[in-house]
């Protein structure tokens, strides 16, 4: 039988490796930024065009490469970071596999320019699909410039799987934030389609957070510091009142490398237990310094997952450190929730002996001193003593209306005939068991503040109130967006909301559609959005929640070509404003919701294609009792 196993060609092997390393343009950004950091760069410039599909370029002022190194850098498993397997457990650099540039060159057009400080001229290499097109001498400044053009040009199926520009750009920004936050000592610049998006100067960790997420972030941060033999923690957590519904601002850095860890994230959530509202997540920016020998980074191609030797100890230290910081800065509540902190005794007054107050009493005080003295009336000329009475009212006879007659007894006692006395009539209430009135049967019932039960001819109807209201609101918003007419209610005072730069950019893109739903914007700056009008029925307190949910949906729910921006906007707003599970509804509200649901075009499903109601016939109920 003939041999069937054969070695793959290099270009095929590179494309297979590229499938693991390069998933989208953001993967290229991550690898190139990390290479620039390993090169010792002080300034790194990232240039993006068309969300990285057309161009991803990283320019640094690092140490550069020689002619031989520039050519070898595109070979598989060629690296300067490690020399033996033992080096994998003592890593202090970002990249170490030597697969990044080789994988990128296999699926894109790559142009490399590099020059060392001691050389007079540099080198340039052009590669297309793992094939070296040119390599020649060029005049270039010190450092390295890598331009990746036409990503996935030779794999159209992979290119078709890329999402919209807004989604891909968001992934690029996420990678940029992760690298920039981990290295505040490096100057980062970010250009998107020719305009400068970020210019992050050299600063400390707190200032780097503020420069990325906006100036209002500074007041939301609580410092966390803990130094033990096992783990050193430094960084910040967000105050509970600023918790968001999304997990966007959650960053763990282990030895200056961004990682994802559901286990350590649970430690943070446990420290915030009892402080956060349901459905919200705390923000954190934490640096964890551990011994490189106690972690294994080489367990995932993207190097965002790390295996720790002793996770339980790290969990306990991290949880206690965050909890201590929240308590130290009076973020965590005490047992007495009504306590006024202004009445607490300060530390400087605790050791001072308290003196009993001296009370002076005015013993000569007479409360009756100023009361007028009653004087007896003077005797009349007839010699009799007269007594003063209160004046008799002029309408005295009205007091005796209804008294028909008075009979004077022999004992001079007056008897009154009450037979004709009229009393005020009391309001009579109808009897519950009055046979003349038949109580109208209730048509709807609410169960557990979640489901609405209504009777139908064949049995009963059970409606999920949250999903049903979503469907009603979705069709209303979609109608307003389609006909471009909506009613707006003006705010007495403009509402000013603060967002990060990338969030403001998303709102700017959706501004026109938002105005069709009823929002009115007076000003949009780099970090603030000023709103003067909101859709009718939308409370002012819900505006920020609606916009945050909308931004999250735009980033995560993938508005491809088959999903219009109007459809996504209607879904997002309906999800934010719908009646939540647990909210009690009055009878008329229940009936109104049922009527509005069955007036919709598609009452059977919610905007997310989930069932809104079920029916149960009388026969099915009868079978339950067999």
Statement: residue 438 has pLDDT above 50: no
Query: Given this model, what pLDDT does residue 356 score?
Result: 77
pLDDT-based confidence at 433, cuts 50/70/90? very low
What CATH number was assigned to the domain covering residues 212-328? 3.30.230.10
Token pair listed for 547: 């916009």
Statement: residue 180 has pLDDT above 90: yes
DSSP string, 207-253: HHHHHHH-GGGGGGEEEEEEE-SS-EEEEEEE-GGG-BSS-TTEEEE
Query: Given this model, what pLDDT does residue 286 score?
Result: 93
Inter-axis angle of helices 565-577 and 465-483, nearest 10? 140
pLDDT-based confidence at 94, cuts 50/70/90? low
Pairing of strands 43-49, 187-192: parallel
Percent of the chain with pLDDT over 90: 14
206 Cβ partners below 8 Å, 6+ apart?
218, 221, 236
Assign domain 447-557+564-615 to its CATH architecture. Answer: 2-Layer Sandwich (3.30)
Q: In the chain, where are the structural domains located?
A: 10-200, 212-328, 447-557+564-615
Statement: residue 113 has pLDDT above 90: yes
Tallying the residues shown for the chain, one arrives at: 626
Query: Given this model, what pLDDT does residue 434 score?
Result: 44
Interval 335-376: pLDDT, tens:
555 566 666 666 666 667 777 777 777 788 877 777 665 555
Interval 247-288: pLDDT, tens:
778 899 988 888 888 888 899 989 988 888 877 888 899 999
Statement: residue 562 has pLDDT above 60: no
pLDDT-based confidence at 572, cuts 50/70/90? confident
Statement: residue 446 has pLDDT above 50: yes
d(CA 562, CA 549) in angstroms, rounded, equals 21
Query: Given this model, what pLDDT does residue 437 score?
Result: 38
Interval 35-73: pLDDT, tens:
898 888 999 999 999 888 899 999 999 888 888 888 888
DSSP assigned state of 431? P
Is 57 within 8 Å of 146 (Cβ atoms)? yes
Query: Given this model, what pLDDT does residue 330 score?
Result: 67
* C-alpha dihedral, 78 to 83 to 88 to 94, nearest 10°: -50
pLDDT-based confidence at 92, cuts 50/70/90? low
Interval 295-314: pLDDT, tens:
776 655 566 777 777 888 88
Query: Given this model, what pLDDT does residue 111 score?
Result: 93
d(CA 437, CA 620) in angstroms, rounded, equals 34
| Average predicted confidence (pLDDT) for the chain | 79
Query: Given this model, what pLDDT does residue 439 score?
Result: 40
Statement: residue 409 has pLDDT above 70: no
Query: Given this model, what pLDDT does residue 14 score?
Result: 66
- Can you give the pTM of this predicted structure? 0.68
DSSP string, 109-156: EEEEEEE-TT-SSEEEEEEETTEEEEEEEE---SEEEEEEESTTTT-H
- Where is mean pLDDT largest: 72-76, 182-186, 357-361, 452-456? 182-186
Statement: residue 79 has pLDDT above 70: no
Statement: residue 76 has pLDDT above 60: yes
Residue matched to tokens 């009212």: 393
* 212-328 and 10-200 share a CATH fold: no
Q: Domain 10-200 maps to which CATH number in 3.40.50.300, 3.30.565.10, 1.10.3720.10, 3.90.1150.10?
A: 3.30.565.10
368 Cβ partners below 8 Å, 6+ apart?
none
By C-alpha distance, which of 603, 591, 616 is closest to 468?
Answer: 603
Range 264-290 burial, b when 16+ CB lie within 10 A, else e: bbebbeebbeebeeeeebbbbbbbbeb
Query: Given this model, what pLDDT does residue 538 score?
Result: 79
Statement: residue 381 has pLDDT above 50: no
| Averaged pLDDT for residues 100-116 | 88
């Amino acid at each position: 039988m003939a041999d069937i196993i054969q070695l793959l060609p290099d270009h095929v092997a590179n494309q297979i490796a590229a499938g693991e390393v390069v998933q989208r343009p953001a993967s290229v950004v991550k690898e190139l930024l990390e290479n620039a950091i390993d090169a010792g760069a002080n300034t790194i410039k990232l240039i993006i065009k068309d969300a990285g599909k057309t161009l991803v370029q990283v320019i640094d002022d690092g140490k550069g490469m020689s002619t031989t190194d520039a050519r070898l850098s595109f070979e598989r498993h060629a690296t300067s970071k490690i020399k033996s397997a033992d080096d994998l457990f003592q890593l202090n650099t970002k990249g170490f596999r030597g697969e990044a540039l080789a994988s990128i060159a296999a699926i894109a057009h790559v142009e490399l320019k590099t020059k060392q400080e001691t050389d007079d001229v540099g080198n340039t290499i052009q590669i297309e699909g793992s094939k070296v097109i040119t390599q020649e001498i060029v005049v270039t400044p010190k450092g390295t410039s890598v331009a990746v053009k036409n990503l996935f040009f030779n794999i159209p199926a992979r290119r078709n799987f890329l999402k919209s520009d807004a989604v891909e750009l968001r992934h690029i920004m996420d990678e940029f934030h992760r690298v920039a936050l981990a290295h505040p000592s490096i100057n980062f610049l970010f250009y998107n389609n020719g305009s400068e998006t970020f210019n992050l100067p050299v600063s400390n960790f707190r200032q780097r957070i503020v420069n990325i997420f906006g100036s209002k972030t500074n007041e939301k941060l609580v410092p966390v510091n803990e130094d033990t033999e096992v783990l050193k923690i430094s960084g910040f957590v967000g105050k509970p009142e600023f918790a968001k519904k999304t997990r966007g601002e959650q960053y763990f850095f282990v030895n200056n490398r961004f990682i994802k860890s559901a286990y350590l994230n649970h430690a943070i959530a446990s420290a915030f237990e009892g402080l956060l509202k349901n459905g919200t997540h705390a923000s954190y920016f934490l640096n964890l310094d551990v011994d490189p020998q106690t972690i294994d980074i080489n367990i995932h191609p993207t190097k965002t997952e790390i295996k720790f030797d002793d996770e339980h100890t790290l969990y306990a230290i991290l949880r206690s450190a965050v909890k201590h910081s929240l308590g130290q800065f009076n973020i965590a509540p005490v047992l007495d929730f009504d306590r006024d902190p202004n009445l607490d005794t300060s530390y400087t007054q605790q050791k001072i002996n308290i003196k009993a107050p001296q009370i002076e009493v005015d013993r000569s005080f007479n409360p009756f001193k100023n009361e007028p003295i009653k004087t007896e009336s003077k005797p009349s000329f007839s010699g009799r003593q007269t007594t003063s009475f209160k004046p008799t009212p002029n309408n005295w006879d009205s007091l005796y209306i209804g008294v028909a007659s008075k009979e004077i007894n022999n004992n001079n006692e007056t008897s009154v005939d009450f037979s004709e006395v009229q009393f005020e009539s009391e309001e009579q209430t109808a009897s519950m068991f009055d046979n003349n009135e038949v109580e109208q049967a209730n048509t709807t019932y609410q169960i557990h503040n979640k489901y609405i039960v209504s009777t139908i001819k064949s049995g009963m109807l059970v409606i999920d109130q949250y999903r049903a209201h979503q469907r009603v609101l979705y069709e209303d918003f979609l109608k307003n967006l389609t006909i471009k007419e909506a009613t707006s209610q003006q705010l007495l005072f403009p509402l000013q909301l603060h967002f990060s730069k990338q969030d403001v950019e998303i709102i700017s893109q959706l501004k026109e559609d938002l105005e069709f739903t009823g929002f009115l914007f007076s000003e949009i700056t780099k970090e603030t959005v000023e709103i003067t009008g909101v859709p009718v029925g939308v409370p002012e307190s819900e505006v920020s929640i609606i916009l945050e949910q909308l931004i999250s949906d735009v980033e995560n729910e993938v508005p491809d070509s088959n999903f219009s921006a109007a459809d996504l906007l209607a879904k997002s707003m309906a999800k934010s404003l719908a009646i939540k599970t647990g909210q009690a509804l009055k009878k008329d509200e229940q009936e109104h919701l049922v009527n509005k649901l069955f007036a919709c075009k598609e009452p059977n499903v919610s905007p997310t294609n989930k069932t809104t109601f079920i029916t149960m016939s009388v026969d099915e109920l009868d079978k339950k009792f067999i």
